[in-house]
Amino acid sequence: MATTKTTGVTKGALAGAIVGSIIGTAILAFLAAWLFIRRSQSSKRGGFQRYEREEDNNTAATNKSDQSSRFLPAKANNNNNNNNNQSFSNGASENLLLSSRSLSKYIPDPADDESVIGRVLGVFDQVSLHVDNYYSHTQPVTSPSSPAETAWISQFDTPYLPGPLSALLENPKTRRTTITHALARSLLSAIQPQSATRVSLLPPLFTPGPLASDDQELNQATYTWRILAAYLARNATPEAVEETQVRQEAAINAFVDNFTSSFAPYADPAHSSEDRARHLRSVTTAAADLGRWLFGQPCAFDFVYSGPTGNNEVVVLPAIVKVLDEKGQRLATKATLYQAVTANF
């Protein structure tokens, strides 16, 4: 009888082993897939967190730099990294210089020196003509007797005369020169922005009054203000222009009334007081026009007097001197455009 040889493994056990290996393989595959997916998600999350941190750092750095650079011009912001460690020796002057560079579209072309001389001398000629025609040079007059008359005359006194104004007016030889000096100086004081005169012939926008100091920073600030004020005046509304004209007419009339009343004792009787006032009004209007024109010029000019010398030489009409260039910078050497007219007393 033949016998059957066995291997020790039943068919059921073999089937179970096969099924178990399949299940184990599936589990391992699932675990491997799960680990791969988790690692991938972790990597993405970490990368996004790093991006967030970098973005936050960049934003913080930008905000920090904005605190010091947002008020600078665009060009300065672009070069911020190169300029962070720089400092300006002039402080506010550098800011004012940057401002003046941006004023170029508001700055008119400067008038040439000959034009300035011509316009100023035109007013000087009218002053001399007025005194020659409307004031007596020969007849004797009495000095002011009442306190009011003395006060009227004394307001035109200047430190550039060799004696009291009233005493010089009593002398026919010095009267013409004295009145010309007084009228010219009064008109020039009334058209200068920093003048302390009581009656200004300039618009209120043009008259800040005397300044506390005369340094570079203040000069630059004054230059910027002057350029912008003149530009605004040129572009004012018709209503504003009319109001300015009304105020100027009032100032001109006040100046004329004050001068003609004060110097009435020395007037030529051949002309009426109305004629004298009418002519002086035209002279004063010309001076006011000159003042506004000079104010709008980029360059700045002074009218320079000097005290009487040892031989009693007096400045009748002042020198015309350029003191600032078209950029508002003070000239190292002042340019005298026209020498002063003097007379010997």
The pairing of beta strand 341-344 with beta strand 313-317: antiparallel
pLDDT of 331 higher than 50: yes
pLDDT digit string, tens, across residues 162-195: 888 988 998 888 999 999 999 999 999 999 987 7
> Which positions ≥6 away from 221 have C-beta within 8 Å?
96
Q: Which whole number is the average pLDDT over 245-270?
A: 95
pLDDT of 95 higher than 90: no
Q: How confident is the model at residue 47 (pLDDT cuts 50, 70, 90)?
A: very low
Q: How confident is the model at residue 48 (pLDDT cuts 50, 70, 90)?
A: very low
pLDDT of residue 51: 35
Cα dihedral across residues 177, 131, 121, 251: positive or negative: positive
Instruction: Assess contact for 328 and 299: CB atoms under 8 A.
Output: no
pTM of the model: 0.70
Distance CA 321, CA 304 (A): 7
pLDDT of residue 237: 95
Instruction: Assess contact for 314 and 182: CB atoms under 8 A.
Output: no
pLDDT of residue 175: 93
Alpha-helical segments (H) within the chain: 11-69, 74-78, 80-83, 92-101, 113-134, 147-154, 165-170, 172-190, 216-234, 238-262, 273-295
Report the Cα 285 to chain-centroid distance in Å.
Answer: 26
pLDDT digit string, tens, across residues 294-320: 999 999 999 999 876 667 789 999 999
pLDDT of 321 higher than 80: yes
pLDDT of 81 higher than 50: no
How does the average pLDDT of the chain come out, rounded?
A: 77
pLDDT of 221 higher than 80: yes
Instruction: Assess contact for 318 and 184: CB atoms under 8 A.
Output: yes
Instruction: Assess contact for 267 and 135: CB atoms under 8 A.
Output: yes
More confident residue, 312 or 291: 291
